[in-house]
């Protein structure tokens, strides 16, 4: 089974299973990860599904597209490793990826 690990705002580590093609948001929602609001349900229109890629995995995802990048400037304290979980499509090679859920979504 493929999985990614989320570290929620209270520092709990949650392993979330995924199928290739799932978004990070879908994986997080299925695993019941805390701290992701996703107010627009994955529409790249709210910036409340903000996650931060752990440094060990930096550069392993395709960079955000222009819409996502624009939305990310409105996330709370974005970093170069910030992503919107709803915009990241998972592939087999992302097995084991680790992400921090942003401490706050707004």
Partner 1 sequence: MILGIVGAGQAACTLILELIRGNFRGQVLIFNGEAIPPYQRPPLSKDWLQNPSRDRLNLLPKIIEQDSRITWISRTVTSIDPGRGTIRTRDTAHTVDHIILATGTRAKKLEIPGLSAQQNVSLRTLNDAENLRLNLAQASTINIVGAGFLAFELAASLSKFGITVRILAKGPRALPQVGLDTAEYLSSRSDALIMTETRLIKFDRKAQSLLSNQGPISCDLVITAIGSEPNIELAEASGLATTSGIPVDVNMQTNHPRVSAIGEVAEYHHTLIGKKLRIESIAQANETACILATHLLEQQSVRHKIPWFWSNQGSEKLQIAGFSERSDDSFLLMDKPHQRVVLRHKDGRVTAVEAINAAREYMAARRLFESNEKSISLNTVQQAGSIFSLLQSSSS
Binding residues (CB under 8 A) for partner 1: these are 9-10, 40, 43-47, 66-67, 70-71, 73-74, 77, 104, 106
Distance of closest approach, residue 92 Cβ to partner 1, in angstroms = 27
Contact call for residue 12 and ligand FES (CB under 6 A):
no
Contact call for residue 44 and ligand FES (CB under 6 A):
yes
Residue 64: DSSP 8-state: P
Contact call for residue 72 and ligand FES (CB under 6 A):
no
Separation of alpha carbons 63 and 48, rounded Å: 19
Contacts of 11 (CB under 8 A, 6+ apart): none
Contact call for residue 38 and ligand FES (CB under 6 A):
yes
Separation of alpha carbons 22 and 24, rounded Å: 7
User: Could you tell me which stretch among 2-10, 34-42, 56-64, 94-102 binds ligand FES (CB under 6 A)?
Assistant: 34-42
Radius of gyration of the chain (CA): 12
């Amino acid at each position: 089974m493929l999985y990614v690990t989320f570290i929620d705002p209270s520092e709990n580590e949650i392993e979330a299973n995924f199928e290739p093609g799932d978004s990070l948001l879908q994986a997080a929602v299925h695993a019941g990860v805390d701290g992701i609001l996703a107010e627009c349900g994955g529409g790249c229109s709210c910036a409340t599904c903000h996650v931060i890629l752990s440094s060990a995995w930096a550069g392993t995802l395709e960079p955000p597209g222009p819409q996502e990048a624009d939305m990310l400037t409105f996330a709370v304290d974005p970093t170069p490793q910030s992503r919107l979980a709803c915009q990241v499509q998972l592939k087999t090679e992302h097995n084991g990826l680790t992400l921090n859920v942003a401490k706050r979504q707004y």
